[in-house]
Amino acid sequence: MPPTVEWSDLLVRLVLALLAGTALGLNRTERGMTAGLRTTLLVTLAAAISMIQVNLLLGTEGKRPASFSSMDPMRLPLGVLTGMGFIGAGAIIRKGNRISGVTTAATLWIATILGLCFGAGHHGVGILALATTLVILLVLKRLELSLPQEQRGTLTVGTVRSGPSDHEIRQVIEAAGARAASWSVIYPGKEKSALRQRISCEVHWKARPEGPQVPPFVRLLQDRPGVHAVRWQSP
């Protein structure tokens, strides 16, 4: 950063920072994410202004070298990064075994870095980082959706006395390319009941994220004779 900076250069830094925040914000808004256009704009603008303030303070004389303390303008962007860490942590939400908001937190983090780059006048680094970020958010998102990923869900099957056994139900699940990670069986006991057993298990299988939410083996079990009820619950 040069010790002195013109107003025209400051305007260019702010405009580039706002353009970077707009590019990231539009990507998040169209996907219905929490951190949308206004959030990323405020993050990049705040980071850019903090670096501009640092640049303006470079020519300010601090205390003498013999003093116990000295002025360090670079502590200002360091404080911005620390505060952004708390905001990013607040965007991460955990619901049971599912964690969401990690990409949102990472987007806010990179938006802060982009604002610091443009605010410091490092336009080349900022533009290169912005282009790389957009490739990651747009292109790699499609690649992730095209790759099979491990899916999880809880399957509960109730059968009558003439229905399939737990071994036969497990065979149906494994024949569909899935596996039961946990298995529990509840028997009705000696009381006069038409139910034979109730099986509950956690099933893992691989499928595309945009594929059907209910795996095919659930419908196969539903149509099997002797099955009283089938319940499927996704995390």
**pLDDT: is 101 or 154 the higher one?**
154
Residue 66: per-residue pLDDT: 59
The token pair at 126 is: 């900022």
Residue 183: per-residue pLDDT: 87
Residue 98: per-residue pLDDT: 67
Residue 67: per-residue pLDDT: 54
Q: What is the mean pLDDT of the chain?
A: 80
* 62-88: average pLDDT: 69
Q: Is a pLDDT exceeding 60 seen at residue 62?
A: no
Write the pLDDT tens digit of every residue in 154-211.
899 988 877 888 888 888 888 888 888 888 888 776 665 667 788 898 988 888 776 6
Residue 152: per-residue pLDDT: 84
Indicate the range of 20-34, 93-107, 133-147, 175-189 predicted with least confidence. Answer: 93-107
Residue 2: per-residue pLDDT: 61
* 117-121: average pLDDT: 86
Residue 96: per-residue pLDDT: 65
0.75 exceeded by the pTM?
no
* 109-117: average pLDDT: 87
Give, in words, the CATH class of 149-233: alpha beta
Residue 132: per-residue pLDDT: 87
Write the pLDDT tens digit of every residue in 3-46.
567 788 888 889 999 899 888 888 877 777 777 788 888 888 88
Q: Where in the chain is the domain with CATH 3.30.70.60?
A: 149-233
* 208-225: average pLDDT: 81
How many Å apart are CA 46 and CA 26, to the nearest integer? 18
Residue 59: per-residue pLDDT: 64
Q: How confident is the model at residue 58 (pLDDT cuts 50, 70, 90)?
A: confident
Q: Is a pLDDT exceeding 60 seen at residue 63?
A: no
